[in-house]
Structure 1
Amino acid sequence: MQITTTLNLDAAERAEICAILGCTDPDLNTRLNSVLGASISEYLSMFRGQKVLKRGSDILEYRLLLLVETAFNGVIPDERTVSSLFQTTLTESRSLIRAVISKYQYQLKPHVERTLSAALTAANRQNNAQDYTVVINSQNVIDELNKALADIDGSLSPVAKKKGSVSTYEISPSSYNRLCAKFGVQPRP
């Protein structure tokens, strides 16, 4: 079903929303339509009695789940993205993402795996004697990678922050190769 709506936004409002959503003005309509799909799904679930949520935290968790499935194309967002949309601190956003991953773990399993695969695909190294490095802006992604490593073999080295960096992480070659095998990612040399 196609639903059409009209929003009256002035130039300043459009610019502000573009900055929050991380898009350009020509892309704003497409981005808002993806968010609109999540909000309509939320209302329809409520109308039909499928998701009658009473607590604020439950509502926020369900909204984030719907956004992951629609607006974020099945990728778990980082804390800064969630903070900009939900008006929360980074710590609150980290907790919200963690709660959603835990509460909806079976529903989100393919999305979490897709997110972890993307992180592994982005990893690289300068030469065969070094660890792989990757920039990851989400502590939850690091936690999920380390949880996967623990499930594979508890003796593997964890994904760890590179000394002196803000969000660059190091992955030992043995851990990287085992993670790639688990998530079906072609390892980089």
Structure 2
Amino acid sequence: MEIKFNIDIEDSEQELLKTVLHCNDTDLEDQLSKIARSSFEENRKMIIGQKIFTRGRDIIEYRLFNLIKFYFDSKIPEEQRICDLFQITATEARAYIRSIMSKYQYDLRETIKESLKEQVLNITKEEGDEDYKLSIQNQYFKDELNRILGNMDTSLPIIEKERGTISTYIIKESSYQRLCAYFEIDIEPENNEEP
């Protein structure tokens, strides 16, 4: 079924929407269509009696769940994106993420796995550095990667914030190797041979 509708949005509101949604004129319609799809799903489930909530928190959590599915293309968003959309603090965003990751863990199983794998794929190591580094914009990722490491081997070093940085984390070689194995990521062997 295809559903379409038109909406009038003032220029000043369009500018604000582009700022909050981190998009330009070209992408705005697509971004709003994804949000409309998410909202429709929320209301459709309510109308047919599958998702009827009485607490405001449950409604917000289900709304975030639908936004992850339809607006964020089945990826766990950065905490700041949730803050922007819901007009909440980083602490509140973190709490909502933790809650829906638990409450909707089976529905989001693939989303969580792919989002975590993407984080591991973004781990880098500068030449001459002993440790690997990762910029993490969502505390959930760090906590979940540490949980995975702990489940594999409690002696593995945890992922820790780099001193003096806002969101850069340090990953030791042994932990990096195990995360790559867990997510079935091929690691290119380092070439130590002299030319």
User: Normalising by structure 1, what TM-score?
Assistant: 0.96
For 1:173, the equivalent position in structure 2 comes to: 173
For 1:34 and 1:148, the matched residues in 2 are separated by 32
Distance 1:154 1:47, change over 3 A: same
RMSD, matched Cα = 1.2
Pairwise CA distance, 1:181: 1.2
Pairwise CA distance, 1:106: 1.2
Structure 2: 5+ residue runs without aligned partners?
A: 191-195
Higher helix share: 1
For 1:118, the equivalent position in structure 2 comes to: 118
Q: Secondary structure at the match of 2:106?
A: helix
Greater RCO (CA < 8 Å, at least 6 residues apart): 1
Runs of 4+ in 1 over 3 A off after TM superposition: none
For 1:45, the equivalent position in structure 2 comes to: 45
Q: Secondary structure at the match of 1:30?
A: helix
For 1:130 and 1:6, the matched residues in 2 are separated by 56
Q: Secondary structure at the match of 1:133?
A: strand
Distance 1:186 1:36, change over 3 A: farther
Identity between Structure 1 and Structure 2 (%) = 37
Rg comparison, structure with higher value: 2
Structure 1: 5+ residue runs without aligned partners?
A: none
Counting matched residue pairs gives 189
1:143 has 2:146 as partner: no
1:64-120 deviations in Å (ceiling 9; x for gaps): 111111111111112111011011111001000110001111111111111111111
For 2:3, the equivalent position in structure 1 comes to: 3
Pairwise CA distance, 1:128: 6.6
Higher mean alpha-carbon deviation, 124-133 vs 139-148, is at 124-133
Pairwise CA distance, 1:129: 5.2
For 1:186 and 1:18, the matched residues in 2 are separated by 38
